[in-house]
Structure 1
Amino acid sequence: MFVRKFATALTLVLATASVASAQSPTRIQQFNAWGAYSYQATGGKVCYVLSIPKEKAPSSVDHGDIFFLVSQRPGQNISYEPQAMMGYPLKENSKVNVVVDGRTFVMFTKGNSAWVENAAEEPALVAAMKSGKDMSVQATSRRGTGTTYSYSLSGISAALKQIEGCK
């Protein structure tokens, strides 16, 4: 099941990164709830860590494949960029809230993805994830359905350490 979800995530990551000539990713290692991956893209090597939610709410709707990832694209000077990816279109101009140990980070939405609204807060979100235990992501679908996802942060520090030398 994880392999199928990973294949879907890879397709979404490649589409989001607008990578026309990317190679298939290599799974570097799994660290509890987080996996570390890399692939070669036109602009250079891309590395990322990815996890799937341990819980989805409401349980009565089809969420599709949901992921949270943190990517590094050294060739584009992008370091540790958090991104939420949903299996459905998000409500236009809505916000996604990421809560780590009571601290909220706001993300803007486009299509089925969300990124930290204030890029200067990206390092703080990553630091909170590394020191935190659990994370929740709250979003609203284009249809207006409020959704919540719970993630374990077990393994995030080791996974991020694994990709810190991405070049």
Structure 2
Amino acid sequence: MFVRSSVTAVAIILASSALAAAQSPTRIEQFKAWGAYSYKSNGGTVCYVLSVPTAKEPPAVNHGDIFFVVSQRPGQNISYEPQAMMGYPLKEASKVNVTIDAKNFVMFVKDTSAWVENAAEEPALVAAMKTGSSMTVKATSARGTGTSYSYSLSGISAALKKIENCK
């Protein structure tokens, strides 16, 4: 299941990044719930860690493929950028809320993805992921359906360590 979802995630990431010149991603290593990957693009090497939810709510809804990604793009001076990727369009001008233990983070939405609203909070979100045990991501679809996803944070620190020297 995770491998199939990971292959789909790789295809989605490449398509959403519009990296026509990108090569196929290489799985570096799997760390419990998180996989580490890299690929070459016009701007150099892109590395990222990715996980799929352990639970999806509401259960009767077709969620599509859902992922949470943290990427490194040294060629673009982007370091540890968190992104929620949904399998459906998100409600325009809505927010995605990420909760790790008692810490809350707000993400802005564009199409099927969400990023941390205040980029200065990205390091705090990544730090919370490293020390937390679980993460919940809540979003609203373009149809107005409220959704919630639970992620295990087991393996996130090791996966991030693996990509820290991405070049």
What is the TM-score normalised by the length of structure 1? 0.98
Runs of 4 or more consecutive aligned structure 1 residues displaced over 3 Å after TM superposition: none
Partner of 2:52: 52
What letter corresponds to residue 156 of structure 1 in structure 2?
A: I
In structure 2, distance between residues paired with 1:97 and 1:41: 30
What letter corresponds to residue 9 of structure 1 in structure 2?
A: A
What letter corresponds to residue 74 of structure 1 in structure 2?
A: P
| Count of aligned pairs | 167
In structure 2, distance between residues paired with 1:155 and 1:7: 19
- Consecutive unaligned residues in structure 2, runs of 5 or more: none
Partner of 2:17: 17
Percent identical across equivalent pairs?
A: 74
What letter corresponds to residue 128 of structure 2 in structure 1?
A: A
Give the secondary-structure state (helix, strand or coil) at the position aligned to 1:16.
helix
In structure 2, distance between residues paired with 1:77 and 1:17: 16
Partner of 1:156: 156
Structure 1 vs Structure 2 CA RMSD: 0.7
What is the CA-CA distance between 1:11 and the residue it aligns to? 1.7
- Consecutive unaligned residues in structure 1, runs of 5 or more: none
What letter corresponds to residue 22 of structure 2 in structure 1?
A: A
What is the CA-CA distance between 1:156 and the residue it aligns to? 0.1
Partner of 2:107: 107
What is the CA-CA distance between 1:6 and the residue it aligns to? 1.5
Q: Deviations over 1:75-121 (max 9, x none)?
A: 00000000000000000010000000111100000010000000000
What letter corresponds to residue 150 of structure 1 in structure 2?
A: S
In structure 1, distance between residues paired with 2:143 and 2:8: 22
What letter corresponds to residue 144 of structure 1 in structure 2?
A: G
Partner of 2:41: 41
